[in-house]
Amino acid sequence: MKRVNSIGVTAILVSTLIMGCDTNLDMSSIQHTPKLVVNSFVNSDELFSVQVSSTIPINDTNPPKMIENAIVTVNDGSTTATLVYDLSVQKYLATFKPYPGKVYSVRVEKGNFNTASGTLTIPNKVVSAKSIWKDKTGLDSSGFETGTLTCFIADASAERNYYEINLYRFDDITQEWLILPPTTIDPFLNENGIKTDIGGILIDDRSFNGSKKQFDFITSYRSAGTQYKFLVEVRSLSDDYYRYLQSLASYKAQSGIFSDPSPVYSNITNGRGICAGAAIQKDTIQ
């Protein structure tokens, strides 16, 4: 799945542009002071990683380049680790996976740039009932049979929780998981869900705090594979992660990367970008 790379590319493009506008501007009057762009989207299933680039002027048509020789450190409150750059993924990697409930501080130093920093927390993983799929539960507008893919969230009480639901179908020809659009007739999702850049859906627990919630999605005719059918991914998001994805969805809906500026959330001090954590529950339906 290309999820992380997709988010990373979008984050870099949005973060590195100092502003955008549909109208012609006098670029000579714009002063650009380069800042570090730090993006760290981490979860408890993968090694801690940080991607570093820099902001670029609005009139620079070249894509931003990754910075490969920065000093990147991560502190978990007791231990500081120095990350090593991996050219194959264009990220600085640690040798450990982040642990749910811990707070991590990221610090990036590079030459004449101001030192940039940010913090993130990995939420606790949601332990919910396994997702299920039922075939032949309805008909589409052409008369073809559809199925129902159901996922569950057992929400923890006494705290605000944020979730991202991603659905995938297995392609027997390419042997890879492909994004499955979250088609639903669920009134709650249609009214409150926010579509993400990669085709998932964002929700928070304001209306079902501390309870168990069921979400039904429609699967189209012959969308299920044979080796594997579907993959349901429920991500518990940190507050910063949710706010970033929410602002990015608004940014895209209102304008676009090269249109009138719209604020995209950042929690990086002396820089741009985002440090955000997630815990993931995955259910593969065979």
Residue 118 in contact with residue 275, Cβ under 8 Å?
A: yes
Q: Residues 269, 219: one domain?
A: no
Residue 266 C-beta-side C-alpha neighbours within 13 Å? 21
Would you say residue 285 lies in a domain? no
Q: Residues 105, 31: one domain?
A: yes
Percent of the chain scored above 90 by pLDDT?
Answer: 69
Instruction: Look over the chain and give the mean of its residue pLDDT values, rounded to a whole number.
Output: 88
Range of the domain at 165: 132-236
The per-residue pLDDT for range 104-163, each reduced to its tens digit, is 999 999 999 999 999 999 998 888 999 999 999 999 999 999 999 999 999 998 889 999
Would you say residue 100 lies in a domain? yes
Number of compact structural domains in the chain = 2
Would you say residue 225 lies in a domain? yes
Dist. CA 135–CA 147, nearest whole Å? 4
**Count of residues for the chain?**
286
Q: Which residues pair with 130 in a beta bridge?
A: none
Q: Which of 74, 117, 115 is nearest to 98 (CA)?
A: 74
Give the mean pLDDT per block of 10 residues along the chain (286 residues): 56 53 53 90 95 86 89 97 97 96 96 96 91 94 93 92 96 93 92 90 94 95 88 96 92 63 86 96 93
- pTM (2 d.p.): 0.84
The CATH number of the domain holding residue 176 is 2.60.40
Helix or strand run (H / E) with residue 61: none
Q: Residues 266, 217: one domain?
A: no
Residue 7 in contact with residue 45, Cβ under 8 Å?
A: no
The per-residue pLDDT for range 73-97, each reduced to its tens digit, is 999 999 999 999 999 999 999 999 9
Helices 239-254 + 3-16 axis angle, to 10: 70
